[in-house]
């Protein structure tokens, strides 16, 4: 899997994203219709449009602590992760995974697990010792995925943006073991 970092946009509506990339991203978001129906992130989860995806990504990238990571396999976009180096709550010491989404056509093939591991490796390399994320309470599949990866529920609270009830999960990131050469 290859990881690309999507850089911030000068345009607050994200109109300067390359057309082919925006087409790929829109297809990825639209393919995850069930998640978007739960999250309410888009007005109509059956009609997710490029301009909506561009705006969502531009909003994410407006924060300098945010990274948008694109996962590719054999040149095909298979997933996206949105990370936040510092939570807005200064009492929260951990970086966050704000979104990890994989194309449903390749679910259960290990891409989500690989993408999560790559995100964790990036945080570990930056000297971070843990990572958090929130899972919507009405998304048991996501909760099962993250707990299988070793994340533990540490809190229950509403998300900051829309007030949706969520479980907050955390995973410790121990230092990587040195590899033998």
Per-residue pLDDT tens listing for the chain (181 residues): 888 888 665 566 666 778 899 999 999 999 999 999 988 889 999 999 999 999 999 999 999 999 999 999 999 999 999 999 998 888 889 999 999 999 999 998 999 999 999 999 999 999 999 999 999 999 999 999 999 999 999 999 998 888 899 999 999 998 765 555 5
Rounded distance between C-alpha atoms, residue 57 and residue 7, angstroms: 10
List, in order of start, the domains of the chain with CATH numbers: 2-172 (3.40.630.30)
pTM of the model: 0.90
105-141 CB burial, b ≥16 within 10 A, e <16: eeeeeebbebbbebbbebbbeeeeebbbbbbbeebee
Q: Is the Cβ–Cβ distance between 78 and 72 less than 8 Å? A: yes
Q: How many Å apart are CA 125 and CA 176, to the nearest integer?
A: 9
Strand partners, 151: none
């Amino acid at each position: 899997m290859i990881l690309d970092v999507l850089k911030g946009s000068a345009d607050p509506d994200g109109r300067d994203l390359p057309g082919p990339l925006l087409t790929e991203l829109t297809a990825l978001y639209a393919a995850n219709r069930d998640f978007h129906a739960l999250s309410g992130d888009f007005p109509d989860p059956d009609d997710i449009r490029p301009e909506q995806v561009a705006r969502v990504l531009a909003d994410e990238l407006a924060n300098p602590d945010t990274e948008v990571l694109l996962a590719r396999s054999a040149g095909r976009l298979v997933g996206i992760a949105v990370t936040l180096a510092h939570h807005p709550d200064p009492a929260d010491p951990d970086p966050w995974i704000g979104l990890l989404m994989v194309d449903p056509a390749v679910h259960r093939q290990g891409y989500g697990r690989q993408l999560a591991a790559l995100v964790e490796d990036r945080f570990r390399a930056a000297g971070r010792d843990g990572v958090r994320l929130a899972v919507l309470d009405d998304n048991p599949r996501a909760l099962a995925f993250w707990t299988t990866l070793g994340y533990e529920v540490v809190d229950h609270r509403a998300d900051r943006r829309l007030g949706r009830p969520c479980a907050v999960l955390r995973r410790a990131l121990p230092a990587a073991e040195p590899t033998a050469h």
